[in-house]
Structure 1
Amino acid sequence: MPLVTLLAVSGLILMPSSTWAEDGARLAAQLCSACHGVHGHSESPMFPRLNAQTPEYLVAQLKGFREHARAETDARSYMWAIASQLDDATVQSLADYFSRQEAIPGAAGDAALLASGHEIFEHGVPDKGVPACASCHGAQAQGAGTFPRLAGQHQEYLLRQIEVFKNGTRGNAPVMTAIAHTLSPEQAEAVAAYLQSR
């Protein structure tokens, strides 16, 4: 959906952020659901699932979009203009709302691929110095503080984020930048498939 259409649908053109009530559910429905789905459960792999995401991560990313700290193409195309309209109270309200939404398990995939991804998630890739994903993202990939929930996230979205960490356009997580350069395409695909299945 073009950015101008998104802005018009969300009402951003029609009313300034200072007039918005701090009502996360209403704001999420007006502002976010066209791309991120009802209650943040995106059906399109183009857009990440926000339901049950950690509030600290959501706050950090929304502020990152607002301040142009995230510069990947999707951020510039979809989120820069939207986030520029959000004050800190609105950011917190949206983060609190999405963090309280139900986590919905993802879809299973190829058993061998999932087993390989599970191994990387739990143990990393020791011979390449890649730590276990679970060490930052939680034993169930549920996220912890500013480390995002990855469980149930779209495989395609996760692979795209690994790419933007690798090419440097998303530079707000140095640990992930280093990991993205170390994972092989096959390893990245395996761990993304496993995470989608959680």
Structure 2
Amino acid sequence: MKRAFSPLLKPLLIAAIAFSAASGYAQDKASAAPAAPAAPAKVDPAKGGVLYVEGDAARGLPACVSCHGANGNSTIAVNPKLSAQSQSYLYKQLVNFTTDARNQPVMSLYAKMLTDADKHNVAAWLATQPAKPGAAKNRDSIDLGKKIYRGGIAEKNVPACASCHGATGGGIPALYPRLAGQHQDYTVAQLGLFKGHGRKNSPEMATIAARMSDDEMKAVADYVAGLK
């Protein structure tokens, strides 16, 4: 014998079935949707400063200060000054050292030991450190260096360095690095690497360096060292 439903209960039963189906669909849709990406960790320059000065013995990471000097003002001519450099540029270089874009035995080893947060933090701290000025040393080449930096070498299709790195060598953050006050030896070495394709993270610089002579590189590197 069939049980008869009250006319009042029938609409309620239909609504309950519809609600249950809708809830199940919503749950299935929610479970199928991709999870929202985790928010990036906040950059902490203070932690970067501690890592720069002290290193991390537990991970075998030496203090950056031992090679790059107090506050990023290296006193070793072959090691770059890092103070006041663009945060985004420094971070990019640390990432590049973990790839074939920049293969330098010491830096590649340590960059691979840094976490992504470490890279961001150290770069952020160095960007806040005041730079100490350098000085041009070669009076015989200062005019040539100035000419190249400000006007390029037209006959070789070498653009003015200032067009990307700024009139005073301050660079353009996120695009081009600060050059002012950089060690002559380091700048010459990097131009040489670009020219010989030992440094692969800027096709633009590789093209420019390939058109320059050794004397032109030395002249512009010396001029850059004296910019403030």
- Contact conserved, 1:55 with 1:95, CA < 8 A, in 2? yes
1:111: how far off? 2.8
Deviations 1:28-60 (A, max 9, x none): 112310100111111011211001111111011
Matches within 5 A, 1:113-124: 113-124=141-152
Please give the TM-score of this superposition, normalised by the length of structure 2.
0.73
The residue correspondences of 1:33-52 to structure 2 (distance < 5 A) are 33-52=65-84
Ranges of 4+ aligned residues in structure 1 off by more than 6 Å: none
Structure 2, unaligned stretches of length 5 or more?
1-44, 55-62
Taking only aligned residues, the RMSD between alpha carbons, in angstroms, comes to 1.6
Match of 2:110 in 1: 82
Which residue of 37, 48, 68 maps to 1:24?
48
The aligned counterpart of 1:6 is none
| Higher helix residue share | 1
Q: Does 1:169 align with 2:198?
A: yes
> In the TM superposition, what is the alpha-carbon distance from 1:103 to its structure 2 partner?
1.6
For residues 40 and 22 of structure 1, what CA distance do their matches in structure 2 show? 15
Name stretches of at least 5 consecutive residues in structure 1 with no aligned partner: 1-20
Task: Confirm or deny: 8 A CA contact 2:100 2:200 kept in the other structure.
Answer: no
Aligned pairs, number: 175
Do 2:51 and 2:122's aligned partners in 1 also have CA atoms closer than 8 Å?
yes
Q: CA separation in 1, counterparts of 2:119 and 2:226?
A: 29
Query: Residue type of the partner of 1:61?
Result: Q
Aligned amino acid, residue 152 of structure 1: G
Alpha-carbon distance, 1:22 to partner = 6.4
Q: Which has the higher contact order (CA 8 A, sep 6+)?
A: 1
SS in 2 for 1:23: helix
Give the TM-score of the pair, scaled to structure 1.
Answer: 0.84
Conserved? CA contact 1:22–1:90, under 8 Å: no
Q: Residue 139 of structure 1 aligns with which residue?
A: 167
Residue correspondence of structure 1 range 63-82 to structure 2 within 5 A? 63-71=95-103, 75=104, 77-82=105-110
Partner of 1:55: 87
* Alpha-carbon contact 1:46-1:156 (below 8 Å) kept: yes
What is the identity, as a one-letter code, of the residue corresponding to 2:145? G
Q: CA deviation at 1:147?
A: 1.0
Q: Distance in 2 between matches of 1:175 and 1:139?
A: 19
User: What's the offset of the Cα at 1:143?
Assistant: 1.3
Q: What is the rounded CA distance, in whole Å, between the counterparts of 2:88 and 2:153 in structure 1? A: 28
- How far apart are residue 87 of structure 1 and its match? 1.7
Q: Residue 181 of structure 2 aligns with which residue?
A: 152
Q: CA deviation at 1:182?
A: 0.3
